[in-house]
Amino acid sequence: MAAMQQYLENLYLEQPKPKFIPSPNSPQAVVFHEKNLQRIRVQLRAREGRPKHILLGTINHCDFRVVKPIPVHLDVRGNTVIASWRKIDEFGTGASSSLACDDLGHTIAELYLSLKADEPRLGPDLARVWGELKEHVMQRP
Amino acid sequence: MGVFEKVNSPRVPFLLNNLGLYAKLVEGSGPYEMKVRLVNLKDESPVMEIKMQLEWLKPGDPLELGMNFAGIPVNEFGTYEFQLYANDIFVGRALFRVDKLQLPASGPVRG
């Protein structure tokens, strides 16, 4: 009910028009006006694909909350996307960026629990990783 | 974040009309620039993008976002993904499939 109240308060928002993006294979037409034609400059549309970096604001694990966006680097090897958090040297893989980020999220959750359990015995490298994890992710009470 | 999971069409390309997207966000407050991208999951090439400003008024309450789209160009069968970003931070996704609808072969009527 509370959510509905907030929704109603936001009802005045008008939905902007979406921008449709032509597919990379669609023809890019050029019209020539022969009379005035002296010089023509054609700019080809750059192919847009998956981004190389994203900021991850959620991990696919209900026990954890992302408190600071996680910088994720996306790479492609064949049909597999690799999502890596380079600062802590962890990665996830999947058939798409989102699936790779989901996999990375599971890795982060497991690593968090494991480092939390071993916190008093962590060496300097793992202590640094633990510090980085705690800065970005927290476990829900 | 949710959307219909499957769309059937006898052919492509076609324009997809009346697609609704719903997202429920929690644990936020203040102004946000929300971005919704639709990508073809085959190569994650973008099909559509929309941006909007909104104000999260009550931090303790969830924020519900509803959007309706008309005329989305679908050029291929396959899986498509809506991606939701808040201030350029990826926060959620929803998938739908576009499948080929096999129409029954027409033949002589037997009676």
Q: Which domains, and CATH codes, for chain B?
A: 6-100 (2.60.40.10)
Give me the pLDDT at residue A17, please: 81
Residues of B within 8 A of A13 (CB-CB) are 52, 54
The pLDDT of residue B105: 74
- The boundaries of the domain holding residue A83 are 49-141
Query: Would residue A34 count as lying in a domain?
Result: no
The answer as to whether A35 is a domain residue is: no
Q: Rounded to whole angstroms, how far apart are CA atoms B31 and B28?
A: 9
* CB contacts, 8 Å: A9 with chain B: 57
pLDDT of res. A121 = 94
Q: Is residue A58 part of a domain?
A: yes
Q: Say which residues have a Cβ less than 8 Å from residue A26's Cβ, sequence separation at least 6.
A: B75
- Residue predicted with more confidence, A9 or B45: B45
Q: Does residue A133 belong to any structural domain of this protein?
A: yes
CB of A78 within 8 Å of any CB in chain B? no
Considering CB atoms only, which of A7, A24, A65 is closest to B27?
A: A65
How far apart are alpha carbons B90 and A20 in whole angstroms? 20
3-state secondary structure of A99: helix
Contacts of A31 (CB under 8 A, 6+ apart): none
Q: Determine the length of chain B.
A: 111
ipTM of the shown complex: 0.82
| A12 lies in some domain | no
Domain count, chain A: 1
How far apart are the C-alpha atoms of B65 and A7, rounded to whole Å? 8
DSSP-derived 3-state class of residue B89: strand
What does the block give as tokens for B31?
């102004």
Query: Do the domain assignments include residue A103?
Result: yes
Kindly state whether residue A92 falls inside one of the protein's structural domains.
Answer: yes
pLDDT value for A139: 95
Distance CA B47, CA B40 (A): 7
* A18 assigned to some structural domain: no
Interface test with A, best of B19, B44, B49, B85 (most A CBs within 10 A): B44
- What is the residue whose two structure tokens read 């979406």? A18
Q: How far is CA A56 from CA A97, A102, B44, B76, B89, in A?
A: 11, 10, 17, 28, 6
Per-residue pLDDT tens listing for chain A (141 residues): 344 444 444 555 677 888 888 776 666 565 656 666 666 666 665 666 788 999 999 998 889 999 999 999 999 999 999 999 999 999 999 999 999 999 999 999 999 999 999 999 999 999 999 999 999 999 998
